[in-house]
Structure 1
């Protein structure tokens, strides 16, 4: 929305000044005529109806070496029967008390009636104000050099009241244009000038080079500003001009309407304030955009150069600006429009009292529609409309005075993002203050919110769903390509909450085109099933993938089984996490460490598949498991297992270690190519012990070049079984061998013994009998 009226375009006071001078001049002239008619001796009679006639009449009045006025007439005739005087070729020059003015009134003929104390000029009267000092003083007719020129006729003057009036058209011309009115009344006692009807002004940068006589033809000007009012009153002593309803100001596509107007002048008769009442409307019509502002009343303030510096619209100001692609609407209790110097263009608007502004995007959706992963994304977020509410708003314009540049609020404000379709969410953003930036076409490009920012996104269709985001600051950037929001950033104690989850970080970024959320700085995401924290976290809503980097810390809360002890949480730390919600798989990379209760797992890479109930670790696998149930009378010795990889099946309670497997306890070490560990399913009371973090080993099976070291004892086998609860070890091979430096060597296809016990059961088979060799000390 642009403003276009300046004081140069509202110089109605010019009309008041020169018409006031007209009334003063005529009154002064008639007073001098009356005095002259009493004192001047009559010349000799020259005709029966003529009492006396004088040629080349001239009269001046001087006070303290200053000439106040000079009256000149080519001829004065005194009529015998009517006792009237007729003056022909009349010129009156006015200089003021100090000789500061040089004005002139000129007419071909006027008639004075001493008995009625009236003067009547039936024909044309011309008046010129501000004649250059070097211009000749005795040239009859208009000089065409005056600052203001006036033409009227049918002028009547009442000598008793001093009122001069005419019911005929009054026309005038000045440097900035020309004008007219129907009738004029001047009361010198009240110093009141009244133009009773059809007041018209046509203003332009320079007056046309037409003669004064041409003013009797059309008074319209092809370009410039046209001012019309129902009537006009000029109170000279009070320095106030009143324009009666309706008041209309027009310049090209611009138009201003008001019920009544009041113009207040300073000591130099310059306009300083204009008061507009009875409803004020300003409009502008362009081929590509139309704008309008309305208010119950208004006020204009002018600077010393006569230029408008401020326009105030009060009593419920409303405005609208519409183009093919966008619409801007607003309302406020009061709006102030500020104009810059020296170009006098609109610079800023300040709106007060329950301000509401709406920005609506009317452009069609992009063709073809946006897609990601070959699926359409639908309308852009924030493309429909933006509604701003605030106690006070400052709107700044670009240097052309038309295009929006910036909008500021400095008090608690609210911005609503209303989507163009019901399938999208409706956003409401609140903050201590807002800043909105616009591009060269007055299209919203970005906005900022500061101080206790709270954003709420609510579903308009389907099941109720509410998202709440809070932070200290927020910035949203619009995309020129789609017209919708491209990115939303929040920082300073960011918090997020929806019915399913919560999140927090120092900074959050939402990339709408990719439906991607980035959390940075002590980022954390959690719900009832778990929690993940890291330095940086990226969540893609379109693909359902999440990536966390830097000091990743994850906690899972297993679902408790009926009648079982409360499960302990599973906790994981790593350098990086990748999660896919579609498959339910999570991958941890770099210095991975998992623990649950007293169980521990370390590896280079860890994959969790919660849907399949599987765990896969690869690279430098190290785990710690409990051999015995809690409360066992045997001494608890945790098992440390190292391998290249680990695969765990939750359903089967089985862990499979592969690649250079090494199992170690306080009393024995085992190496093998592969190791399977089976965890107990029930505790001693028959209840499930899954997920408690202290699940003991039911048994373990080692395969491939199995070797067991127990102190000095060494056992080798093809495969072996270990039952921690009984401390029993079964070795299988062809043969399986146990070597003991003190007790000798035992071979068999199956060897069974207890760790820490010297007894052993040996089985053989045909062709491979059991064999024990003991060393005999000599």
Structure 2
């Protein structure tokens, strides 16, 4: 019974299933809607991608480059055009990254290569991981040499520095940015409000790995209180690029400033070293046609030092000169101040030193000394025209290489005062304050013994002291003097020789001491004084001669021979 029921149920299922299959074969299938096709925006393209994307290339498991874009159009020659905002990111082997962002870019991808060249246009911004930013209208990047090129006007920034120029290249391999033309740079003040600067040049290079900034072609730097010019200027920066550690100026180099620091420095080339703050100058080395202008006292002219080379060392304040050396030909000009005459010193070499709180005060000149001192007559102030030659000159000045106080002339000294007075000695001290010249053999010095001459007489002695403006002279030990006859053409009676002597022949005198007043034309010879002319001899303890009156006085053990 149950078997009959099972067979009946199976038969009913088969009939119903067959009917369902038949109905499905007769009824048509509903048609699905295909997604709408993206219209081609460029008829020459082979494919286009919309909606944004990112493409990456890998090398040895590391990202070689990545390209982010809003739209991509690909052409059959391997070019791809990226639109709606693009950014190329290029990591390098040292962990640094360069990014180039723009409105659009065209990328050349030759067969078998990831990237050959990319051309960017519209709001181009190149940024490096060490904070260099370059902005321009267009740029290109060449993968073969790893260099990004900017053909037109641009702006750039790095830290406190902003600038502009025309044309640039960035070498990502060597991390070097070059600005090719019309460079203008502004450096903002630091946290302390100091260190601002404006720079212009024909071109510039920023070598980031070496921390070097170079300005080429008519480099001009304007700081708060200093101006610097040179054909080329190279700054060597601290590791964080915040401070200038040293600077090299090459070609027609010049610095001018104010304050107590050197007012100007000029040379073919100048090397500068700065202190820990990056602003206080510590040393300056000038090479070829070197000139330094040191400041004078407040409101007074400065002092000029010239030489083939000049080396300067500064106190920690960066303003006070504590050492200055110069090599041939050296010339120092000390300008006139009021009644103080102008002075000029020439030599083969110069070495000047001073304390940090005072500046230069002691200077030694060596080789072919030529000293000149001059002042024009004005009212009751007499003219001065003095010269000196020697092999060495040691001077003492007021602080800061100020007015001359003392000058020591060493070896083969020859001194002149006006047209009539001369002096020679192995060693001479010119006491400027006392207006006195002291002649002596010195110690280990060379040259003939002290010898002085004026229009009326000559004198030789172991020591001679001359009061220059007062025209007075004293001599000591081994005095030998010659009183000259009146010069032909001189007014009658200008020089009167004692009446017992011939008026047209010189008179000789020896003694231990001499006190002579040229203005009064009076000389006093003391200690075993002996006067003679031909066969006439006068001896005494003291002989006094008055060349104005022609009087002669012999005192103490006086005796004569006619």
State TM-score, norm by structure 2: 0.70
- Equivalent residue for 1:278? 217
Structure 2 vs 1, CA of residues 194 and 110 (structure 1 numbering), >3 Å: closer, same or farther?
same
Match of 2:179 among 212, 231, 243: 243
- Equivalent residue for 1:201? 157
Asked if 1:453 corresponds to 2:365, the answer is no
1:755-776 deviations in Å (ceiling 9; x for gaps): xxxxxxxxxxxxxxxxxxxxxx
Once the 2 structures are TM-superposed, how far is the Cα of residue 526 of structure 1 from its aligned partner?
A: 1.4
- Equivalent residue for 1:351? 286
Distance in 1, matches of 2:201 and 2:351, equals 36
Is the CA contact 2:275–2:316 (under 8 Å) kept in the aligned structure 1?
A: no
- Equivalent residue for 2:456? 529
Alignment of 1:631-646 (within 5 A): none
Asked if 1:622 corresponds to 2:538, the answer is no
Secondary structure in 2 matching 1:361 = coil
Secondary structure in 2 matching 1:363 = coil
Distance in 1, matches of 2:404 and 2:397, equals 4
Secondary structure in 2 matching 1:84 = strand
Asked if 1:260 corresponds to 2:202, the answer is yes
Alignment of 1:395-414 (within 5 A): 395-399=312-316, 403-414=320-331
Asked if 1:551 corresponds to 2:478, the answer is yes
Is the CA contact 1:248–1:255 (under 8 Å) kept in the aligned structure 2?
A: no
- Equivalent residue for 2:84? 122
Is the CA contact 1:103–1:131 (under 8 Å) kept in the aligned structure 2?
A: no
Once the 2 structures are TM-superposed, how far is the Cα of residue 616 of structure 1 from its aligned partner?
A: 5.2
Distance in 2, matches of 1:611 and 1:237, equals 93
Alignment of 1:94-243 (within 5 A): 105=66, 107=68, 110-115=70-75, 117-120=79-82, 122-123=84-85, 125=87, 127=89, 129=91, 148=97, 150=99, 152-160=101-109, 162-170=117-125, 172=127, 174-175=129-130, 177=131, 179-183=133-137, 184-189=139-144, 191-195=146-150, 196-203=152-159, 224-234=160-170, 241-243=177-179
**Structure (1 or 2) with the larger CA radius of gyration:** 1
Is the CA contact 1:451–1:472 (under 8 Å) kept in the aligned structure 2?
A: yes
Match of 1:84 among 35, 48, 72: 48
Give the root-mean-square deviation of aligned CA atoms.
Answer: 4.4
Secondary structure in 2 matching 1:277 = strand
Gaps of 5+ in 2: 1-31, 39-44, 110-115, 190-194, 442-448, 487-496
- Equivalent residue for 2:269? 335
- Equivalent residue for 2:41? none
Asked if 1:513 corresponds to 2:433, the answer is yes
Alignment of 1:644-723 (within 5 A): 694=562
Asked if 1:571 corresponds to 2:525, the answer is no
Distance in 2, matches of 1:469 and 1:229, equals 57
- Equivalent residue for 1:390? 307
Match of 1:48 among 27, 35, 43: 35
Q: How many residues align?
A: 482
Structure 2 vs 1, CA of residues 401 and 567 (structure 1 numbering), >3 Å: closer, same or farther?
closer
Once the 2 structures are TM-superposed, how far is the Cα of residue 243 of structure 1 from its aligned partner?
A: 0.6
Structure 2 vs 1, CA of residues 518 and 151 (structure 1 numbering), >3 Å: closer, same or farther?
same
Structure 2 vs 1, CA of residues 520 and 404 (structure 1 numbering), >3 Å: closer, same or farther?
same
State TM-score, norm by structure 1: 0.53
Structure 2 vs 1, CA of residues 352 and 47 (structure 1 numbering), >3 Å: closer, same or farther?
farther
Distance in 2, matches of 1:514 and 1:350, equals 37
Gaps of 5+ in 1: 1-44, 52-80, 133-145, 204-223, 365-382, 627-693, 695-778
Is the CA contact 2:186–2:198 (under 8 Å) kept in the aligned structure 1?
A: yes
Is the CA contact 2:211–2:236 (under 8 Å) kept in the aligned structure 1?
A: yes
Structure 2 vs 1, CA of residues 112 and 454 (structure 1 numbering), >3 Å: closer, same or farther?
same
